[in-house]
Structure 1
Amino acid sequence: MSESSSRYTILIVDDTPENIALLNAALRDEFSIKVATRGRKAIEIARSLPVDIILLDVMMPEMDGFETCRRLKADPMTRRIPVIFVTARGDVEDESVGFACGGVDYITKPLRYPVVRSRIKTHLALYDQERRLEALVRERTRELAETRMDILQRLGRAAEYRDNETGRHVIRISHYCHLLAIAYGLPEEEADLLRSASTMHDIGKIGIPDRVLLKQGRLDAEERAIIQQHCVIGHEIIGDHSSKLLQTAALVALTHHERWDGTGYPNGLNGEDIPLFSRILALADVFDALTSRRPYKEPWSVAEAVAEITACSGSHFDPAVVRVFLECHAAFEEILRTYADPTPPPEPATDA
C-alpha cells in the first residue's frame, strides 16, 4: 500500500482495452488502478511507482506475460510484487509455466469478479504479512548489529583502558577506518565491516605486562619484543570463528603493525601481501597515535601528522592509502575534535 494513499494500487496489464475497462470497473471502487497495454510499459510503471499487485495478461504482442513476469522477478526493485496471471489460456501446462515464472496465482477467463477480488485480497494480505516480517527482521538485524558493535567497542576499550584512560582511541580508529575505506572505494558493507572489526585491533594488550605497557620511557629491545606480541595474543584471543566479523577482527589484530616495506611485525609481510583492511588500519592507528597525548609526548598537530604520514608513504604505508588519506584528512580532523580525549587537569601547585 502506498504511503500517500490508504488504497492498494493494482497494475492491470492487458493489450485489449475492453478487458482493461471491465477489470477497472470491477475494482476501482476498492483499489487505485494503473494500466499498461504492453509488458515493457508495465515494467517501467512497476519500477517507478508504488504498486502492490499486478494483474497480467499472458497473450500480448512484443513481450508476452510470461516473459514480462520473468523480467519483473529478475529486477530487485520489482521482484517482490505479487503477479496474478489473467488469461483465456487454461491449460495445465500454461499454469505451470506461469508459476515457474514467479506468478502467485492464475485466473482464467471468463472472469468472475467476486473471485478476482477475493484472490486479490488474499494475495495482498500475504504480501502485507511478508513485508511486516521483513521489516521486523530488518529492525532486529539492525538492533543486533548495533549491539554487536557496542560489545566489540567495549572489549576494545577494555584493552585501551590499560594505557589510555579514556578508551576513545578505538572509537576514533573505527571512524577513521570507515572514512578511509569509503574514500578508497570499498562498498559500504565492507567499510562497515572494517569499522566494527577495527575496534578489536589492540585487544592483545590485555596480555602485555604492566611493566612494559605502562613504561613511561622508551622500550629496550627485550621490551619491544614483548609489546609486539600483542598482535599474536589478540589473534589468539579472538580465535577461529565462523563469523565474518570475528574472522576480520582476528586478521587485523594480527597484521595491523605490518609495514608496506616489510619491516613491520609479527610476520614481516610487505606490499599487497598485507590485507587491505590492515593497510588502512595501520595509517589510521598511526594518525591517532601521533595526534593523541601520551605520558611520554604531547599531541602532534594534524599538519605535523599529515607530513609524517606523507613522508612514510611507500615505507610504512601503502602509497594508495596515503593518497586517499591526503584527499580526506580534513574529515579526520573533525573526527579528532568530536571524539577528543578530555584535557587532563593541571598539576597541583606544591610548596617550594
Structure 2
Amino acid sequence: MDFIDQLRVLSTRILNTKSLIQTEEATKNSMIMPFIQILGYNVFDPLEVTPELIADIGTKKGEKVDYAILKDGQPIMLFECKKAGGDLNINNASQLFRYFHVTAARFGVLTNGLVYRFFTDLEQPNKMDEKPFFEFNILDFKERDVEELKKFAKASFDLDTILTTANDLKYTRAIQNRLAEWMTNPPEEFVRLISYELLGNKRFTPVVKDQFTLITKRAFEQLLGERINERLKGAMTPEKTLVIEQSAPIIPSENTSEPQVVTTEDEAEGFHLVRAILREFISPKRIVMRDAQSYCAILLDDNNRKPICRLRFNNPQNLRLGIFNEKKEELLQPLESIDDIFNFADQLKATISSYETAAKE
C-alpha cells in the first residue's frame, strides 16, 4: 500500500473513533503510534523508537520525552503528545523546548494525534523556534502535504534536505494563511492599493472602500474557483480520452446558455474523499467527476449509466449527498460536513459492487 493510501486508511479510522479517545495514553496507542509506524519506524524496537526517553536537564533529573525517533543511536525527532484534540498552543510545549535543547535532535513534533506541528531551530541554533515550519493534519491533508511529510520517513530521511526546505516552508505557510485571511476579509491597505491601481488618484472614500472590498472578495473567489476547475479538467483529460476511444456515452451540457460551470473547493474535496473510500476496490482512475449547474456527478468509468453518487453542495449551509439504490433512484442524505461522506462508505462500495457484478454476468 502506498504511503498516501496508508495515511488515508488511518485518517478514516481516526475520523470514526476520535470521539471515543479520551486520554493521552489512548491517543498515543490509537493515533500517534500508527502514524509513526506509517513513517517507517518500528514502534516496537526501542533502538528505533524509544518511548519516554529520559533527558536530564540541569538539576532536573528524569525528564522524559514521549517518543524519540533514533538513528544510529542518536535522537533525530522528538514527539510531545497531548490527548486527542488537545490544545497545541506553543505555551503548552515547554517540555519539548527543554528536550530539544539537551538532545541531538533537530526536529521537535507537537501533536494531539490529529495535527502534527514540526519545529526546528531556524532562528537560533539549538533553540527550538516558537513557530512550526510544517503542519500536517491527518483529517485534512493535500498531496503536497504528503510529499513534505515523506521527507521525515525512515526510507528518505535526510537532515540537510529537510533543513534546506524548512525555511521556505515556514514562510510559504505564513503567506498562505495571510492570503486566506485576505480572501475573506481584505485589509483596507490592500483594497486601497487595488482601487488606486484601477481608479488612479480618485479619493478613497467610504463608498469606494465598501465597493472595492466586495469586488476584491468576489475576484478572489472566482479566481480560486477557476484555478480549481482548470486543474480538475487537466487531471481528468486522459481518462475522458480513453472513454471516447471506447465509444462510451457522453453527457451533453445541461444548459449551454448558462454561465460556465465552476467546480468549487468543496466539490473537489468531496470527489477526492469518494476516491479515497473506493480506491481499495477499484482504480481511482475509473472514478470520474462531471460537474453541472445543480449538482456534481461522480461516475464509474465516466458512464452516466453508472452513477456512484451526486454532490449537491450549491448551498454550503445545506450540504447533501445523493446516493443510489438498486433501482438507481437517488436518495438524498444530509451532511453536517464534507467528512460525513465517510458515513456512507458501505453504500458507495455496494454501488460499485453491483456494477462490477453486472459486468461479469
TM bucket normalised to smaller: under 0.3
TM-score (norm 1): 0.24
Higher fraction of helix: 1
Higher fraction of strand: 2
TM-score (norm 2): 0.24
Larger radius of gyration between Structure 1 and Structure 2: 1
More relative contact order, 1 or 2 (CA 8 Å, 6+ apart): 1
